[in-house]
Amino acid sequence: MRINSLKTAAAEGRPIVNGWLAIPSGYSAEIMGHQGYDAVTVDLQHGMIDFASALSMLQAISATAAVPLVRVPDGTPAQIMRMLDAGAYGIICPMVSTAEQARRFVAACRYPPLGNRSFGPARGLLYGGADYPQHANNEILTLAMIETREGLANIDEILDTDGLDGVFIGPNDLSLTLTGAASAESTHPEMLAAVERVVSRCRQKQKIAGIFCTSGAAAAQRITEGFQFVTPANDVMQLGRASREAIALARGNAIPTTGASGY
Ligand code: 3PY
Ligand code: MG
C-alpha cells in the first residue's frame, strides 16, 4: 500500500502544511494539490461540497504529491467510511468533545478487529494499491477536532484513544465557546491557555497537534509554538486576498486587509 507520508513526517518531527478546500471543484483541488502542500483537505463541514464534488476533488488531489484528506461534517460513521472508500487517506472529525466520541470516530476508520469500518475499499484500492485492505488500519490518519470547552477539558482522555493520531484545533469554534467571539487568531488569555494546553498534552503523549490558521505567517508562528500540522487559510480566503491585491495594485491603491466576505 502507498505509505501515508503524513505519518512519516509526524514520526520524524517534520511539520505538515495542509491546504483546505471549500470550493466544490476538481479543477481548484488540482491546482491546490500542485502547489507543494503536504496534504490537501476537502472540507465537507463548512465547504460548499457534496459527495459527487468531493469524489472528483479527491481524484484530482490523487494525481498530485499532496495527501488527500477529508473533514467530514460530523462523526457519523457511514459518512466517514464513504469518504475513506472515496480515497481519503485521513479524516478530520469536527466537534469531538469526549473520549467516547473519539473512540467511535477512530473505530469508523479501522477495519475489524480494531474498529467497525465496513469492507468496500473502492477508490482506496486505486489510490493506495491492491494491498490496501491489509494495511489501511496503519496508514489512514485520524485527527479529532478540539473546538468545544468539553473537548478541551477531556483532552487527555481524547488523546489516549487507541489509534487516534492527533488533534486539530478549530480556533474559531474553540474561541467562540471559550470567549464568546469566534477568532482564529484570538489572543484572549483563555484561548492562549487552551492552545498551550493542547500543544503540551500532544507533546507529552507524542500525538500530532494541528490547528487551522488564517495565513502562512500565522501558520509559521503556530509551528514555532509546537504545532506539527498547520492549515494556512483556505481556498476562499486565498482567492479573495489575491483578488483584492490584484485590484488594489491595478488601481494604485493600498491593499485592503479584509474584503466584503469577511475574509
Ligand atoms: C474552526 O476554526 O472552528 C474550524 O473548524 C476551522 O476550520
Ligand atoms: Mg470549527
Q: Number of folded domains in the chain?
A: 1
Domain assignment present for residue 209? The answer is yes
The mean pLDDT of 41-47, rounded to a whole number, is 98
* 23-40: pLDDT as tens digits: 999 999 999 999 999 999
Domain assignment present for residue 243? The answer is no
Residues 6+ apart with CB under 8 A from 130: none
pLDDT of residue 256: 86
**DSSP run (H or E) holding 29:** helix 26-33
Spatial distance between the Cα atoms of 55 and 86, rounded to a whole number of angstroms: 6
Range of the domain at 155: 5-234
What CATH number is attached to the domain comprising 36? 3.20.20.60
Around ion ligand 2, residues with a beta carbon closer than 5 Å are 147, 170, 173
Q: Is the dihedral of CA 165, 121, 55, 3 positive or negative?
A: positive
**Residue 120 predicted with pLDDT over 80:** yes
Domain assignment present for residue 258? The answer is no
Domain assignment present for residue 102? The answer is yes
What is the whole-number distance in angstroms between the Cα of residue 95 and the centre of ligand 2? Answer: 7
**Residue 60 predicted with pLDDT over 90:** yes
Task: Kindly state if the Cβ of 18 falls inside 6 Å of ligand 1.
Answer: no
Domain assignment present for residue 191? The answer is yes
- The residue contributing the CA closest to ligand 1 atom 1 is 170
Domain assignment present for residue 70? The answer is yes
Please report the atom of ligand 1 found closest to the CA of residue 172. 2
* 66-92: pLDDT as tens digits: 999 999 999 999 999 999 999 999 999
Task: Kindly state if the Cβ of 72 falls inside 6 Å of ligand 1.
Answer: no
What is the whole-number distance in angstroms between the Cα of residue 252 and the centre of ligand 1? Answer: 34
- Residue 170 corresponds to which cell in the numbers above? 478549530
Domain assignment present for residue 170? The answer is yes
pLDDT band at 263 (very low <50, low <70, confident <90, very high): low
Task: Kindly state if the Cβ of 47 falls inside 6 Å of ligand 1.
Answer: no
Task: Kindly state if the Cβ of 22 falls inside 6 Å of ligand 1.
Answer: no
Domain assignment present for residue 183? The answer is yes
Chain position carrying cell 491489509? 134
pTM, entire model: 0.97
What is the whole-number distance in angstroms between the Cα of residue 249 and the centre of ligand 1? Answer: 31
